[in-house]
Chain A
Amino acid sequence: MHPVLIGQLTVDGLLLGGIYALSALGLNVIFGVMRIVNLAHGEFVIGAALFAAVLFERWHINPFIVLPFAFAAAFGGGALIQRFLLRRLPEDLAAAETTSLLLTFGISYFLVGAGLAIFSGNFRSVPFLTGAWALGAISIAQTRFVAFVTSSILALLLALLLRYTALGRSLRATSQSIEGALACGVDVERVRTFAFALGTGIAAASGCLLSLIFTVNPETGANVTLASFAVIALGGLGDYVGTLVGAAIIGLAISFTGYYASAQVAQAAPYVLFILVLLLRPSGLLGRRAA
């Protein structure tokens, strides 16, 4: 085991994890508050990535400039979806979970179709900051580093919002117990709309970062959804700190198995972890709360 190699694989893995973290955070906010498994999550991510790629192709608009606008647009879109579609789900939570699966699955299909119509099936990505910085013998990919930092900042903002604002407190309260929140006078409907909007907004933000790293087309959304699921299952559903830990573990797993085994094993690694965690620690690795 060569220390430089271990260092390189660790850096690559952590940076990769940073990218998964943000998209998974968005998914987890939605699940934590609404108990809705949003199967269309990856499509929101990819939609924003494709927009960012096209804007760069046509007018050389930097994805970091697109990011806040994409966030705002997806935030609005998410609020509309919640108001006009998800709100119509049955009151009963157990029934709502099944129906929400079907509904978001339908939305994901619709978005893939719309994406193919708008963007075609062409693969796109943004050629920006494609080089690497050298840290001794270890090379740090610029895009991944910048995406990692942006992702961390957004995660920090989210943490601050959840902890220190009234809205954030209602959000956490709703995620802990709907009845409790209702009893304390929290406008649960508003909080749920906010949570779904925030989740899709974060998805779009992560999409802008993703466009710098991966080559995507409208049909690659399912991969993102799956990877995000593996991350939040690892970190614990509804557990935001756990999401960051889960993302780091998955990034490291992909990086190390990719080197010591093969790319095929690396592709399976997140899901093997996912299954192991489901079997052994169903409430997530950190196991703070039963999901």
Chain B
Amino acid sequence: MKRNDLVRLTAAVVAAAFTAVLGSAGVPATAQGKPIVIGASISETGAYADSGKYALQGYQLWVQQQNAKGGLLGRKIELKTYDDASDPATAVRLYQRLIDQDHVDLIVGPYSSAVTASVANVAQQHHMPMISPEVASTAPFERGLTEIFQGIQVAADYVSGPMEIAKEHGYKTIAVTGEDTLFPRSVVAGVEDQAKKLGMTVVFNQLYPHNASDYSAIVQKMKEANPDIVLSASYLPDSVGLLRAMKQANFAPKLVYLGVGPTELSFGTQNGKDADGVMGTGNWSAELKTQGNADFVKAFEATFGRPPDYHAASNYAALEVLGEAVKRAGSLDLDKIRDQLATLTMPTVMGSYRVDPKTGIQQGYRSLVLQWENGKQYVVYPKQLAQRAPNVPFAAWASR
């Protein structure tokens, strides 16, 4: 027994010494070849798992393509990600670990507004600039943080599209609703002011709670207000619930806009013909004529065997921007990279990246109005990016 222990101990010491020698001698020799590590947490499991996977693949594709082109600053790039299980508290721990223990060179944002809002503080504390492709709410940027940059369209910009379309067609009255939570509230917050500027009137304005059990009463009230257009800041489940309640109440205003719910493909599967004419806000479309978009779609399909969604696109675009910022900084100097992220303007698959240098709020990317027609989504606004003109008025329920 004793002998055995001694052998083990010796082996361990030798192994440790060997590792130490290799480690210390190895570093200087291979410094040039050491990869640049970019860290992030992604919601690979939990409530956001599906979208989270797209987000991750967006990151992966860019890293793969960039490495094929020779990497960054002559070094390979390595992506280090952990699964935050869609939980903000877990994500905070994971970013701390990425920065303190894994010593990653750069970080990029996680999936979802809630998770990003929590992680933003960690990035700030460690002075790690972070471009966040998944946070549409401007709230995290209004806390005086200097290291966070928005890589997606601003929530308040969402309703300006449908309101412009309504104005063009001479529609005057608006019913506003939406889920009574942070992001939808910020979407509809500016509607009253915008309506005044456009010479329109808000005739109904009432939100409904998260997980509302029934939409028939609120739809009944909207119907009685008799608006030309309905603007609702909804996610998928509530947009489906509202549309069904509208059909059941035989309520067909001239324009129906239901927030971000209709951008999900599942909105079409769940509503069939009833989805026709419904508008929603999208951040990206495979048909967009933005720089590199067609190639991005093709490469994504070839690599992952399915078409990308907007999460994949915005995450891919975030790394396009970060890569450019590093190139322009000429080194991994975090202050220089931060300044580049704050000031540079560049075309990405999402559009033209440009943020307010003070707050980091996105100003360049424009949100798109998508409209369902025969089981497909089309970009109908803004005009320069539109695939077709908006199809209004919304068809009566009986005529479908």
Contact = CB atoms under 8 A, between A and B. Distances in A.
Contact of B247 (A5, A120, A132, A266): A132
Contacts of B45: 116-117
Contacts, number: 121
B249 A263 contact: no
Contact of A259 (B48, B86, B217, B237): B217
Contact of A124 (B214, B270, B397): B270
A132 B250 contact: yes
Interface in B259-305: 266, 269-272, 274
B213 A130 contact: no
Nearest to A134: B250
B50 interface: yes
A259 B248 contact: no
Nearest to A20: B213
Nearest to A140: B248
Interface in B339-388: none
B49 interface: yes
A256 B241 CA distance: 18
A287 to B, nearest CB: 27
Closest 8 CB pairs of A and B: A258-B217, A263-B208, A215-B237, A121-B47, A141-B248, A132-B248, A259-B217, A123-B237
Question: Binding site of A, secondary structure by majority: helix, strand, loop or mixed?
Answer: helix
A218 to B, nearest CB: 9
Contacts of A117: 45
Contact of B248 (A126, A127, A131, A258): A131
Nearest to A265: B209
B217 A57 contact: no
B65 interface: no
Nearest to A251: B214
10 contacts: A12-B217, A121-B50, A127-B272, A131-B248, A141-B244, A215-B240, A254-B214, A258-B217, A263-B207, A266-B213
Interface residues of B, number: 40
Interface of A: 5, 8-9, 12, 16, 57, 116-117, 120-127, 130-132, 134, 139, 141-144, 214-217, 219-220, 223, 227, 254-259, 262-264, 266-267
Q: Name the residue among B209, B213, B236, B248 with the largest chain A CB count within 10 angstroms.
A: B213
B158 to A, nearest CB: 20
A219 B214 CA distance: 18
B50 A123 contact: no
Nearest to A223: B211
A130 B271 contact: yes
Contacts of A143: 244
Interface in B231-248: 235-238, 240-241, 244, 247-248
A122 B266 contact: yes
Nearest to B249: A139
B218 interface: yes
B394 to A, nearest CB: 16
B274 A9 contact: no
A259 B220 CA distance: 8
Interface string B69-92: 000000000000000001000000
